[in-house]
Each structure stands twice: as C-alpha cells, then as structure tokens.
Structure 1
C-alpha cells in the first residue's frame, strides 16, 4: 500500500506492516492476524490507523520494539527485539536490527526492527539491517527517505542479495525521482542475478 505499508496474505490470513500517515485506510481485514510496526515514526503508524484496524479486527495483536510501545501507550503493544521469533497464525516473524538509521546527529536515534516473514519476505523498516545468513526470496527495499542516500540503498541491496526486490518507502519522492531510484535498485538487484519488480500501491506479487 502507500509509502511503507505492506500486506501479506497466506492460507486465508493477513499480516499488515507499518500502516502510517501516508497510507490510505485499509479494508477487508476480517482475516487479519497481526500488525507489525517497525518503529515509532508517524509515517509507519498512527493512532488513527490502529484504531481503524482494530475496529475492523478487534483484538488483533500488535508487535513492535520498545519505542513503539512507549509512543503507542494507548494501545496494547507486544514488545519484540532483534533475535526474537514469533509465530502468529500462518506467519513466522523473525526480527533483526535494533536501531533506526541516522537522519542527522541532532535527531535522536530510535528503536527499529526489521522483520523476516516465513523465512522468505524481508522488510528492514528504516534501517539497513541485513538478515545475516538468510536467503531472502523477496526484499522490500527502502528507496526514498530523509535518512537515505541512493548509493547506500544500492549497497544494502547488494549486501542482502535477494532473489527478487521492489522499492518501498517512496512517498517523499517525485515521480521522476522514484523512477530514477528504482533504476538504481534494479541495477543492484541484478548484480546477484535477482529480479527487480515495480509495485505501485494496491499491486501485489507472489512469493
């Protein structure tokens, strides 16, 4: 979905990652089993988004690092940490990283977790955390952010070596900038014989 929000479906169940301020309201959540919030910044979660999700799917567990639990204190957050693995419905969630990438020395560094889903799909949140030793079938690679230089993003894709990748975290880019940055990540993906996908909001691919 828009910006950094991702939806995974398997065996008739749904997992939502990072529904934030740039994301349109989500629908068809009757089979939602969990929400993962990688960190506390509002482009990755808002109280309004969580309230709307929980209105459609009451009791859905929400997972995030300690910083999210502090920021979202009006909601029940299950705290997760790097190195932890959780089973929820048909999804196995393994967490990596621990800190948000540096934006500027004047801005405090916050908690951030990357999440590997079913040992196949990986999203690092706002970080370059590599899931060491994992064969990533599909990588959601950040392509535009205040903390992101495209050369670093290219190096990140080269380090992860995904079989397939697509760009996410992109609402801060113009269309021209988005196309340019996607081309850079395409090059990086193809260096290890991977395939780069173009996914617009609402589009999907199989893993």
Structure 2
C-alpha cells in the first residue's frame, strides 16, 4: 500500500490500482487533484479543514462512481447523491474499493467548553493504517501506522506522547501540521521520539511512502 501525504489532514492510500482519499479540506490547496481518480472519500468530521463540502459536491456531480463516507453531518451538507453519500458510525466495518475500513471513535476532542463538540470518526484501513481525525482515540486493535495530528487548537504535546504510548504503532506519520513552523515540527518530532521511542515521520505535501 502507498500513502501520499497532502497538506494538513489529507492523505491518499493506493493499492492494486485503487485509490481512496481521507479528509480533503479547504486548507489543502490541491484537493481537486487529490479527489480526481479516487474511488471513495472518507471524512472524519465536518470541520472545514477536513471537509470541503463544495469541492466534494462538485466531484460527486462530475464522477458518477465516486462515493463519500462520513458522519451524519456529511450527508446533511452533501445530500445523498442517489445513495453515494453514506453515513458511518463507530463499530461499522465495510469494504471500499478493495480496502477494508473499520470505524472507531465518536466525538471530536474538546477545544473549549464553549465550542460545540462534533461527531468525529477514526478509520482503521486494512487493519494497518489509522487516521484518528481530531481526537486521540485509541482503537481496540493493533495499529501498524498511526497518522498523528501534531497541531491545532485541541492538541497538546504531552497528550500526543501518551497517545503514541497507548497505541504503540510500528511507525507514526505526521498529519494536521499546518499550525507548526518547520522548527516546531522538528521540535515536536524530537520530543515525541525521546518520550516514546517512536520516530515521527515528517512527509512534505506531495511525498509518498510505501507501507
């Protein structure tokens, strides 16, 4: 399986000629190219940096084979598109374009008591790659590759370290990085490695890695 990193929380996974995309949001400048050719899009939650609903509405109109999956808010904003937009919930499992997807989580991490906490789903792909969205949710399953959020109004470095320790992945790849400078990303990587013994891979947007 090949993982391609896009800016912020968006990644693509490819294998055997099939491609799925996770969390194309408005902070990812090349989401239109990222969505093109994808068999399906998985959305963890409704926030704009993970879910560009205008882009996906246009993509669904342009590609009659494209399918979109996510929490209820995704269907509410996109409409059903003849059943091609489907609501998922924690505990669901399904096959998408040759990939297996197990759904975990439930709620977004707390930002502040005055900010509503929305539904947030984590996706374990092929029993190997876990995208947690905006939460440090620990799935009750082994994780080989953890996509680790490193910046945002809800994140905290100490909690990220505890999360790595709890999940115990073979490797971790940074996502959700746009609020960190290059120096901040390097510092975060060094601190997390020192606390957990797990190296954090920093992939620039557009780069890929074989998993």
Flag whether TM exceeds 0.5 (same fold): yes
Closer, same or farther in 2 for the Cα pair 1:49/1:185, shift >3 Å?
farther
Counterpart in 1 of 2:142?
135
Q: TM-score, normalised by structure 2?
A: 0.88
Structure 1: which 5+ residue stretches go unaligned?
A: none
Residue 166 in 1 paired to residue 170 in 2?
no
Is the 8 Å Cα contact of residues 60 and 67 (structure 2) preserved in structure 1? no
3-state DSSP of counterpart to 1:50: helix
Q: Which is further off, 70-79 or 6-15? A: 70-79
Q: When the two structures are aligned, how many residues end up with a matched partner?
A: 203
Given that 1:29 and 1:57 are in contact with CA atoms closer than 8 Å, whether structure 2 keeps it comes out as no
Question: Partners in 1 of 2:177 and 2:129 — Cα distance?
Answer: 19
Q: Is the CA contact 1:32–1:57 (under 8 Å) kept in the aligned structure 2?
A: no
Q: 1:124 to 1:8 in 2, by over 3 A?
A: same
| C-alpha displacement of 1:177 | 1.6
TM-score using structure 1 length = 0.90
Contact 1:99 1:112 in 2 (8 A): yes
Larger RCO (alpha carbons 8 Å, 6+ apart): 2
Per the alignment, in what secondary structure is the counterpart of residue 32 of structure 1? coil
Give 1:180 shift.
1.4
User: What is the rounded CA distance, in whole Å, between the counterparts of 2:122 and 2:162 in structure 1?
Assistant: 17
Unpaired runs of 5+ residues, structure 2, are 1-5
1:21 corresponds to 2:35: no
Q: Comparing 99-108 with 29-38, which one deviates more in the overlay?
A: 29-38
1:58 positional shift = 3.2
Q: For residue 183 of structure 1, what is the aligned residue in structure 2? A: 190
Match of 1:61 in 2: 67
CA distance in 2 between counterparts of 1:38 and 1:99 reads 10
Q: Residue 46 of structure 1 corresponds to which residue in structure 2?
A: 52
- Superposed, which structure 2 residues align to 1:55-204 within 5 Å? 57-73=63-79, 77-132=85-140, 134-190=141-197, 194-204=198-208
- Structure 2: distance between partners of 1:55 and 1:95: 26
Cα RMSD between the aligned structures?
1.9
CA distance in 1, matches of 2:134, 2:26: 15
The answer to whether the Cα contact below 8 Å between 2:189 and 2:199 also exists between their aligned partners in 1 is no
Between 103-112 and 40-49, report the one with greater CA deviation.
40-49
Q: Secondary structure at the match of 1:21?
A: coil
CA distance in structure 2 between the aligned counterparts of 1:8 and 1:188, rounded to whole angstroms: 29
Native 8 Å contact 2:108 2:135 kept in 1:
yes
